[in-house]
Chain A
Amino acid sequence: MRRKKDRPRKTASEKPSLTRRDFLKGAGVTVSGGLLGKSIVADAAQPESKNEIVGPGAVPVTLRVNGKVHKLNIEPRVTLLDALRDRLDITGSKKVCDRATCGACTMLMDRKPVYGCTVLAIEAEGHEITTIEGLAADDKLTPVMAAFVNHDAQQCGFCTPGFVMACTAFLERNPNPSLEDIEKGLGGNLCRCGTYWGVRHAVLQAAREMKGGSHGNV
């Protein structure tokens, strides 16, 4: 396993190496999975300059999550999602498909949405990670969360944190979305209970409310 030595902070405009969102954009959800699988492998296999070889044993990894610094000793193969859920008990991001198909693990890396199940924890070093726990303080709700409650865009709620993260990031880039934008932009999140009707309305409401306002703490 290689990791970058100097690990510069990426700017929000730069593309994190293992982000799936850009691939998903525009791809029909029912075909996205297979295509993505390939792209990830190809991407991850690219050797980078200035790399050091680490692993396979545990290595120290420092993660900055929701503004807090966490020091971990984990094997390089541990995903960001597993590191957060199993080691840090930050469980808002869910593990469902574990391979970049469903979006339940959506979190933000330098404000851009990523699937935490397909980013390695060591890859996340030096980046600012935001999970759903980092969007709203205590018992407060962001406009997106409040809109999800208002439009009952959740049933069992297992896909909901991923959807809320995806919607939050989506609205930041598309403050004025059309229905078509929503259908394309949120095609990377799957719900089994069938809450998409509520989600559509929730996104439209949140967009209205956020116009000119703050986008939560993101």
Chain B
Amino acid sequence: MATCKYDWPEAGGRELVGKRIDRIDGPEKASGRAKYTYDTHRPGLLIAKLLTCPYAHAKIKSIDISPAQSLPGVKAVLVIQDAGSEIQWAGDEIVAVAAVNEDIAEDARRRIKVEYEQLPHLVREEDLERAQANGRTKPAGEETVGDPNKAFQDPDVVISKGFYGIPVITHCCLEAHGNVAEWTDAKTLKTWSSTQNVSGLPGQIGAGLRRQKVNVDDSNIETVCQYIGGGFGSKVFSRPWGIVAAQLAKMAGKPVKLMLDRDAELEIAGARPSAFAKISVAAKKDGTLAAWDSESWGTGGVGPAGHPPLPYVLQPPNTHWKHTMVAANIGPSRAWRAPNHPQGCLLTMGALDDLAAKLEMDPVEFLMKNVHLAPKLLTKIYSEELQKAAELAEWKKNWHPRGDKTPGHTKRGMGVSLHTWGGRGHTSTCNVIVRPDGSVTVRLGSQDLGTGTRTVIAISVAETFGLPVEAVKVEIGDSKYPPDGASGGSTTVGGVSASTRRGAVDALGELFAAVAPSLGVPPDQLEAHLGLIRVKGDASKSLTWKQACSKLGVKTIQTTGRNPGPCHLNDSGVGGVQIADVSVDTETGQVKVNRMVAAQDCGLIIDLKTAESQVYGALIMGICYSLFEEKIMDETLGQMLNPNMEFYKLAGIGDIGELVVHMMTGPGYDERGVIGLGEPPVISPGAAISNAVANAIGVRVPTLPLTPDRVLAALDKGGLA
């Protein structure tokens, strides 16, 4: 096979790629030395607070900021939305104040007087008919393939009908959204922003400021983000507070820090759209899927929010789906790890699991029987993963037909689900710099969300140079560096690993050219291996990396690596299978996860350790939204009832059970190149856990999260209780 010069090394030739390597910024984080946006201090720093609207739908009648302005210590008060503006969700930003400290900013905020005229609102969307009666619905797509009507009428099919739902949840980043803005001179702005999009932010902030008549060139804006305390899709865009901080800083002539309060973080800084569906699905008696019909709806606030892909992954020959969007007066949706997939997955895998139960089939066998309905690329992957996951979960031993018949009120159940995601590497540019003293720097305007981006960059360059990981200095997190894409949609690892590989291969080529004369061979006869530049096939002829670099004299090598680019370094499209093993207390309605098993493919893995962490983390995040998380809206007040962390619940260390992660690697996987991993493993937990609960108690709990009240209500209607 002809190789391409940038190709990843073959399995036998990899020193670092695919091994378990510690994240390189681990010590900074574990010791508390890592500085986040929230930790940024500047001389004369002011603290800003936002006054938000308490009503879900209202018109501003009047605003009086003078009592705030006159408070000593207050340095700037900015009206964000003025009298006459129509507000569409509780928590929307009305006024911002900047003061010498947080307490004074808080006092000033309380003094501002805003009069509203309340308007009719709708904040709950599960009841589609009610939303329709309120004129709050809009068609969001419909499609028919084959002849579903005829297929459902076939007397030889078994049909299952059900209702399934997954509510709005929030991102709940532990570091709230926000930033520090400082004008270093009249025309130059520097921001420290909690962002997933370091390279893209100056353009967004510049455009926002110009809309507010603040004149600034994008080229005069620098955004820095060395560490970010969570994003999960919600920190790709700067949003009003990015602009507001810069405006306040301009007004006050001082740097301003504006971080959202926890309640605002949960109300307005990100929502994952809900999805509810009435579904009919049919299969032949042998389990082969024949037809699908779904009528679904959901909300992502008053604006559009996309729709879940239905049916998810497995496409029966006859399908019909129709989706309706509900405009609800809640904080706007933002991309939440694998946008629309967890919803599509829960609705589909729940409905298929109910059908398998009706057919009295083992759901793993049922999925095996139907994997041929998945995209071609994935059918083999799913078969292997189903086998592997079933083996790790001891499926044959632990699974039973629906309804745990053993005595007692603790019922155990098993559920399975599968998922997919794209994850092709984004556009990326980097500089790779090799100096005559042998030091190596790689520089790009990327960001590390905690996924291990710094580490995979270091591995990609170190592997190419035959150096240890520590020999590579990784500089990211500054918009002054070569532009890199936003970290969203699992696109980062594919992008940065490929651009840095190409940049490093080119740099190595230049180094070979410089040292070839002293080793007496042409440059193409050289290779880099274990800290040496040596002649291929003649180990006696070699130089250490440092000796080799000294041959550069006064010249520094600087190359530019790009993605996309030549050779097959990355790809798109992964498959994953998960199995949940749960216990349900039929007296209290409490669900406990005993074990979660994930078999996950992501092509060629750069760092196995941080890759596994992504999957462990996704399983835990999945347990959170399956059992605990919900943005609870009150229809009377129009407000979120749980905008705090005691009632917006996340799993704790005791809620996760045993986690088993198996990464699919080796032949059939590695040669696909690098594919993103952030999104896929968070997709299946909802369906796997919901299916496991149904298997335990004999009845479907239709909507997530599977809270005790919902479990008990489902038991009341049927099941084992």
Contact = CB atoms under 8 A, between A and B. Distances in A.
B613 interface: yes
Nearest to B227: A157
B649 A154 contact: no
Interface in A90-108: 91-99, 101-102, 104
A91 B230 contact: no
Nearest to B40: A91
Contacts of A104: 174
A131 B33 CA distance: 11
B229 A94 contact: yes
B32 A92 contact: yes
B546 to A, nearest CB: 24
B653 A132 contact: no
B481 to A, nearest CB: 21
B647 A34 contact: yes
Given A86-B102, A102-B645, A194 B262 contact: no
A116 interface: no
B444 interface: no
Interface stretch (A7-15, A41-49, A142-150): A142-150
B46 to A, nearest CB: 11
A184 to B, nearest CB: 7
Contacts of A28: 652, 654
Q: How large is the interface on B (under 10, 10 to 19, 20 to 34, 35 or more residues)?
A: 35 or more
Given A33-B646, A97-B262, A102-B645, A195 B613 contact: yes
Contacts of B175: 94, 96, 156, 158
A101 B450 contact: no
Contacts of A82: 102
A195 B39 CA distance: 22
A135 B30 CA distance: 11
Contacts of B652: 28-30, 183, 186-187, 189-190, 196
A77 B106 CA distance: 12
Given A94-B38, A145-B31, A156-B228, A198 B647 contact: no
A52 interface: no
A32 B229 contact: no
A192 B650 contact: yes
Interface in A116-168: 131-133, 135-136, 139, 141, 145-146, 148-150, 152-161, 164
A183 B656 CA distance: 10
Contacts of A164: 30-32
B610 A152 contact: yes
B654 A154 contact: no
A102 B27 contact: no
Nearest to A93: B32
Given A182-B653, A196-B656, A156 B230 contact: yes
Contacts of B159: none
Contacts of A30: 628, 649, 652, 655
Interface stretch (B315-323, B573-581, B618-626, B711-719): B618-626
Contacts of A96: 174-176, 262, 645
B338 to A, nearest CB: 14
Contacts of B27: 139, 141, 145, 149
A139 B31 CA distance: 8
Nearest to A31: B646
Contacts of B651: 29, 196
Contacts of B519: none
B653 A199 contact: yes
A149 B26 contact: yes
Contact of B103 (A77, A132, A197): A77
Contact of B229 (A153, A157, A195): A157
Which of B26, B172, B616, B647 has the most chain A CB atoms inside 10 A of its CB? B26
B173 interface: yes
A52 B624 CA distance: 46
A197 B656 contact: yes
A49 to B, nearest CB: 28
B644 A99 contact: yes
B172 A192 contact: yes
Contacts of B616: 194-195, 197-198
Interface in B614-666: 616-621, 624, 628, 644-647, 649-656, 659
Nearest to A78: B103
Which of B29, B32, B228, B450 has the most chain A CB atoms inside 10 A of its CB? B32
A162 to B, nearest CB: 9
Contact of B450 (A86, A98, A156, A182): A156
Contact of A148 (B30, B102, B617): B30
A28 to B, nearest CB: 7
B646 A37 contact: yes
B262 A98 contact: yes
B237 interface: no
Contacts of B262: 96-99
B646 A132 contact: no
Contacts of B168: none
B220 interface: no
Contacts of B617: 155, 193-195
B656 A101 contact: no
A85 interface: yes
Contacts of A145: 27, 30-31
Interface string B12-41: 000000000011011111111111101101
Nearest to B656: A196
Given A186-B653, A192-B621, A195-B613, 14 more contacts: A29-B654, A77-B103, A86-B101, A89-B41, A91-B39, A139-B31, A154-B450, A160-B30, A161-B32, A184-B654, A186-B652, A197-B656, A198-B616, A200-B653
Can you list the 3 inter-chain pairs with the closest CB atoms, starting with the nearest? A33-B646, A92-B32, A194-B620
Interface of A: 28-30, 32-34, 36-37, 75, 77-78, 82, 85-86, 89, 91-99, 101-102, 104, 131-133, 135-136, 139, 141, 145-146, 148-150, 152-161, 164, 182-184, 186-187, 189-200
